[in-house]
């Protein structure tokens, strides 16, 4: 079973035909494509947070235009359609959002008006074709390999329910934590936790929410987990730390520049599962950047590159 995962696509970072990452992903012939947030940029430097001031009508129009432009991008459009045609237990496109496609830079759910959240939710459902029966966008999908059920991918929403960061502030919210707890209880196989906000890979992550981060660690205690995320416009592979057995793997920057005009990104990851091992390759614009193999029996990893 092969999953391609990436995040952060700013079609305004260059001409649409420059998004070569989608052809590179298509060549890998993945069973799944996971898009882990910032599929569009409602704002970017030096115009951060401007959408906060926009009228609801302008917000809706801008978001629709940005999604339309990205969804019509050559390579992306073909890959998305091909993956969707294979929708079912063996294939498809899944994902979640992060700040820039939810509202604006670093936006917490508590800062965004109900109407703007509604617009954002509606357009995510329309373009991503994902519409779980909850307010935000958390859900899970079964994963299978060669016709056998092997585990599940759980997609979390780190925006809709969140408050501005703080030790006792809310990140996931009670209902979503209950959902996560239930999903973990139901699943004995491979668990991929997917979220737009990284945990340890950035200072802007889950660790700013002391209590919710502790609650997550408690839920996954002694569980083998691979956490997939985006946001930081870099690739990263972080082995488990402390009392968790959770690998954190980031692939971010499908089509962005690191700074305003320079530092073009073409990042994506490939997670290739076989019953013996989980092989994780992270690619950048030059080729293979990181390669790690996790032994499924021991959950120990080996760095190849």
Sign of CA dihedral 5, 231, 103, 195: positive
Which of these segments, 4-12, 126-134, 175-183, 257-265, binds Fe ion (CB under 5 A)? 4-12
Contacts of 2 (CB under 8 A, 6+ apart): 28, 29, 30, 31, 32, 270, 271, 272, 273
Q: Which is nearer to Fe ion, 119 or 256 (CB)?
A: 256
Q: Which is nearer to Fe ion, 8 or 246 (CB)?
A: 8
Give least dist CB 52 to Fe ion, A.
Answer: 17
Q: Is 8 in the site for Fe ion (CB under 5 A)?
A: yes
Q: Which is nearer to Fe ion, 80 or 97 (CB)?
A: 97
Q: Is 101 in the site for Fe ion (CB under 5 A)?
A: no
Mark residues 32-51: x for contact with Fe ion by CB under 5 A, - for none. Answer: ------x-------------
Give least dist CB 2 to Fe ion, A.
Answer: 24
Give least dist CB 260 to Fe ion, A.
Answer: 14
Q: Which is nearer to Fe ion, 3 or 250 (CB)?
A: 250
Of 87, 65, 74, which Cα lies nearest the Cα of 26?
A: 74
Which of these segments, 2-10, 179-187, 189-197, 270-278, binds Fe ion (CB under 5 A)? 2-10
Which of these segments, 3-11, 12-20, 70-78, 288-296, binds Fe ion (CB under 5 A)? 3-11
Give least dist CB 279 to Fe ion, A.
Answer: 26
Of 117, 116, 194, which Cα lies nearest the Cα of 160?
A: 117
Give least dist CB 252 to Fe ion, A.
Answer: 6
Q: According to the 3-state scheme, what is the secondary structure of the chain?
A: CEEEEECCECHHHCCHHHCCHHHHHHHCCCCEEEEECCCCCCCCCCCCCHHHCCCHHHHHHHHHHHHHHHHCCCCHHHHHHHHHHCCECCEEEEEECCHHHHCCCCCCHHHCCHHHHHHHHHHHHHHHCCCCCCCCCCEEEEEEECCEEEEEEEECCCCCCCCCCCCCCCCCCHHHHHHHHHHHHHCCCEEEEECCCCCCCCCCCHHHCHHHHHHHHHHCCCCEEEEEECCCCCEEEECCCCCCEEEEEEECCCECECCCCCCECCCEEEEEECCCEEEEEEEECCEEEEEEEEECCCCCEEECC
Give least dist CB 96 to Fe ion, A.
Answer: 13
- Contacts of Fe ion in 50-79 (CB under 5 A): none
Give least dist CB 106 to Fe ion, A.
Answer: 11
Q: Which is nearer to Fe ion, 151 or 205 (CB)?
A: 205
Q: Is 234 in the site for Fe ion (CB under 5 A)?
A: no
Q: Which is nearer to Fe ion, 38 or 157 (CB)?
A: 38
Give least dist CB 253 to Fe ion, A.
Answer: 7
Contact footprint for Fe ion (CB under 5 A): 8, 38
């Amino acid at each position: 079973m092969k999953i391609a995962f990436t995040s952060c696509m700013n079609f305004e970072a260059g001409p649409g035909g420059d998004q070569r990452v989608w052809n590179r992903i298509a060549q890998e012939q993945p069973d799944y494509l996971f898009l882990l947030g910032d599929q569009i940029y409602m704002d970017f430097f030096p115009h951060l947070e401007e959408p906060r001031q926009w009228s609801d009508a302008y917000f809706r129009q801008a978001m629709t235009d940005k999604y339309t432009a990205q969804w019509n991008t050559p390579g992306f459009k073909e890959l998305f359609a091909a993956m969707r045609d294979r929708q079912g237990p063996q294939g498809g496109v899944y994902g979640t959002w992060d700040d820039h496609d939810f509202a604006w830079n670093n936006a917490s759910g508590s800062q965004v008006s109900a109407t703007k959240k509604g617009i954002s939710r509606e357009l995510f459902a329309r373009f991503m074709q994902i519409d779980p029966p909850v307010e935000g966008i958390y859900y899970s999908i079964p994963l299978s390999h060669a016709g056998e059920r092997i585990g599940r991918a759980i997609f979390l929403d780190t925006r809709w329910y969140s408050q501005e960061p703080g030790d006792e502030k809310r990140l996931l919210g009670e209902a979503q934590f209950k959902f996560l707890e239930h999903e973990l209880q139901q699943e004995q196989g491979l668990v991929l936790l997917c979220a737009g906000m990284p945990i340890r890979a950035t200072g802007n992550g889950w660790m700013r929410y002391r209590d919710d981060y502790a609650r997550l660690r408690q839920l996954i205690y002694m569980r083998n987990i691979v956490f997939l995320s985006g946001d930081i416009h870099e690739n990263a592979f972080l082995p488990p730390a402390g009392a968790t057995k959770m690998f954190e793997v980031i692939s971010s920057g499908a089509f962005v520049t690191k700074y305003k005009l320079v530092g073009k990104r073409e990042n994506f990851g490939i997670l290739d599962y076989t019953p013996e091992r989980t092989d994780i390759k992270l690619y950048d614009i030059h080729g293979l950047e990181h390669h790690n193999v996790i032994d499924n029996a021991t959950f120990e990893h080996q760095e190849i590159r």
